[in-house]
Every structure is written in C-alpha cells, then in structure tokens.
Amino acid sequence: MGLKSAISRHVAALSGTIPSQPTAATVHPLPAAEPGYRLVPALVGRAGAAQIVHVQCPTSWCVVDHAAERVAGVEDVNHRGERRGMSFAPSGGDRVPVEVYLSQWPGSDEDDSRPHLAVDLDCEVATYGRTAALAMADQLVAFAEDVRRLAMTLPGDSDPDMDEALRRARGGAS
C-alpha cells in the first residue's frame, strides 16, 4: 500500500472526530467619520481593563487626547475645545476664574449631544446652545461697554507701570 493511500485512509477515519478549527475573525474596516469629524482612539473602561475604541471627534475644535484620558464608558467621552479665560481678583479676596470653551458629550442621554458653549465660573459649569450663547455674548459686550464708560470717568493714573500694563492688556507694543 502506498503512502498516499494510507494517509487517505487515516484522513477518512478521522473525519468527523476532529473538531473543525474556527476560521480567523473577519476584520472590518473602521466606518468613515461624518463630515467635520475624524475617528480617534479613546481609552475606555476600568483601570487595568481599559480598551481602545474609536470615536468620532470634532476636527476643528476638540483638543482632548482621548487615548490618554481614560473614561469609564463610551458615554463619558467629552469633547472639549481650547479654553479661554480670565480671573476677577476682588481686593483682599481669592481670584475667581472664568473660562469658556466648546464642549460636547455625544453619548449622553441626559444632555443634548450637540456641542455647547461651556462657561466655567469658579468650577461651576453651565452650558449654552447657540442662541443662548450669543445672547450672553451680547450681554457681556454691553457690560464691558458699561465698565469702560465708568472707567473713563475715573481720574488718570500717574503710574507709568500701570499705563504699560494697560497697553499690554490691550495687545499694544511696549
């Protein structure tokens, strides 16, 4: 009996007794991101058991490194824009920071998942949609005009350092 014949007999005898091996998992390409977004890796899960998933991230404004900032679940992914801020320093008191930035919680059930303007006043954050944010900006401009009008009625400072500070605050050259 030839070698081929012996192998064929063993294969025939073993067929049905050897479990078939699973085939390799099908690899699916990542879906295309929506216009204005890019797919980025995000670290999601408990410490020590986190995994990388890909999330859509606003291309033009999100500055978060989602792969470096672990969140518990995908619904906790938060997109944040660059912060702009200033502080009010009442005489004899602590500085009161105010920051504004774009914010979006795309997986949130509780909040509108569209981007909002976040206003952080001393660690109290409120969010505003487009119309409310524009209304607040108009109110801030009117308030700033009142501050400027009142400031112009004050007697001038004779301190050259104060004049230099004002030039710098207004973006002027020294």
136 neighbors 159 (Cβ within 8 angstroms) = no
Q: Ranked by mean pLDDT, which of 8-12, 81-85, 104-108, 159-163 comes out on top?
A: 81-85
The token duo for 132 is 């409310």
Q: Is residue 143 part of a domain?
A: yes
* pLDDT exceeds 90 at position 56: yes
Please give the single-letter amino acid code of residue 92: G
* pLDDT exceeds 60 at position 1: no
Q: What is the pLDDT of residue 118?
A: 96
Residues forming a β-bridge with 38:
57
Q: Spell out the residues 6+ positions from residue 128 whose beta carbon is closer than 8 angstroms to its own.
A: 116, 117, 119, 136
Q: How many domains, in total, are found in the chain?
A: 1
The token duo for 52 is 């990388």
Mean pLDDT of the chain: 86
Which string of DSSP letters, residue by residue, matches 108-122?
-SSS-SS-EEEEEET
pLDDT tens digits, one per residue of 133-147: 999 999 999 999 999
Task: Kindly state the helix (H) or strand (E) to which residue 47 belongs, with its residue range.
Answer: none
* pLDDT exceeds 90 at position 23: no
Domain hosting residue 41, numbered range: 33-156
Q: What is the pLDDT of residue 174?
A: 47
